Amino acid sequence: MIMSKTFYSTYKKEIHHFIDNALKEDIQDGDHSSLACLDNDKNSKASLLVKEPGIIAGVELAEIIFKRQNPEFTIDFTIKDGVEVQPGDIVFTIEGPQLDLLATERLVLNCMQRMSGIASLTQRLSKKINHTSCRLLDTRKTTPNFRYPEKWAVRIGGGINHRMGLFDMIMLKDNHIDFAGSVAEALDRTDNYLKQNNLKLPVIVEVRDVKEIKACLSFDWIHRLLLDNMPPQALREALRLIDGKFDTEASGNITEESITAIAETGVDYVSLGALTHSAKNIDLSLKAVN
């Protein structure tokens, strides 16, 4: 489990790759708007202004973006990641060369607005289940090439990251099972694959009914069962059958209105793609300071 404060150190290479590609996409052969009328030998100052309430996220990433463009930037932070903010709050003030400041402005705002929206939704949903032992997970339903900032925002909002991608966990979903022929066949093949390749990866299996749950009970090395599209009563029946043998995760069509009842069944985790694909951006702006 990657805590938000260690996310950058864990995924430093991937985050730098994202920043470099994003800056290249935006700047290419030059920021001609700024080149036409500004001077990079002159320093200017700007403040990040909050325009609507929420949980701020992406502050640490903003510093990394600015310093990757120009290590000489100086930044005065007044609000940290994960803090609740209100309109009019100033998150930080940055000073540095004019062209470099404006070349990075939009990338910083795009990241922070999106991340703050995700962190705000994650915290709101987490509060709905914090009276239970259930924890909130994200999914792979992320924006291509923006997965790391989005999952970082989930951590800042108090959620837990599911697998980062296809490479760090085995998750046998309905298509794997249907293509293989059955749950048991998919698991037998998975067991052989792990042994042949000397891999130690956690294995999650998506189950759709009692028959598939029973098929998993003899494979004691399974890490977690994902109980797919089950209403609360069906979840309770599934949990009685599993009887603590595996960790459990509820997923599929879970909403803000239904999440509390799902968590109260006793399931260990609940996962929502909505955390990263449906969060509303928080409005922020970077304004010049005279």
Distances (CA, A) of 271 to 68, 172, 201, 251, 254: 34, 16, 20, 5, 8
Tell me what pLDDT residue 2 has: 53
Give the global pTM.
Answer: 0.96
In the residue annotation, 135 being an active-site residue is answered as no
Structure tokens at 169: 């966990």
pLDDT for the residue numbered 290: 80
* 141 tagged catalytic: yes
228 in catalytic set: yes
For residue 77, list its beta bridge partners. Answer: 92
Please report the DSSP string for 114-146 in residue order.
HHHHHHHHHHHHHHHHTTSS-EEE--S---TT-
Query: Catalytic pick from 206, 212, 249, 268?
Result: 206
pLDDT confidence of residue 111: 98
Q: Which of 52, 63, 228, 283 is catalytic?
A: 228
Contact (Cβ atoms closer than 8 angstroms) between residue 138 and residue 159: yes
**DSSP assignment of 52-80:** S-EE---HHHHHHHHHHH-TT-EEEE-S-
pLDDT tens string for the chain (290 positions)? Answer: 455 679 999 999 999 999 999 999 999 999 999 999 998 999 999 999 999 999 999 999 999 999 999 999 999 999 999 999 999 999 999 999 999 999 999 999 999 999 999 999 999 999 999 999 999 999 999 999 999 999 999 999 999 999 999 999 999 999 999 999 999 999 999 999 999 999 999 999 999 999 999 999 999 999 999 999 999 999 999 999 999 999 999 999 899 999 999 999 999 999 999 999 999 999 999 999 98
Q: Quick one: which of 110, 141, 98 has its CA closest to 25?
A: 110
Kindly list the structural domains of the chain, giving each domain's residue range(s) and its CATH number in brackets, ordered by start. 4-126+279-289 (3.90.1170.20), 169-272 (3.20.20.70)
217: left (phi over 0), alpha (psi -120 to 50) or beta: alpha
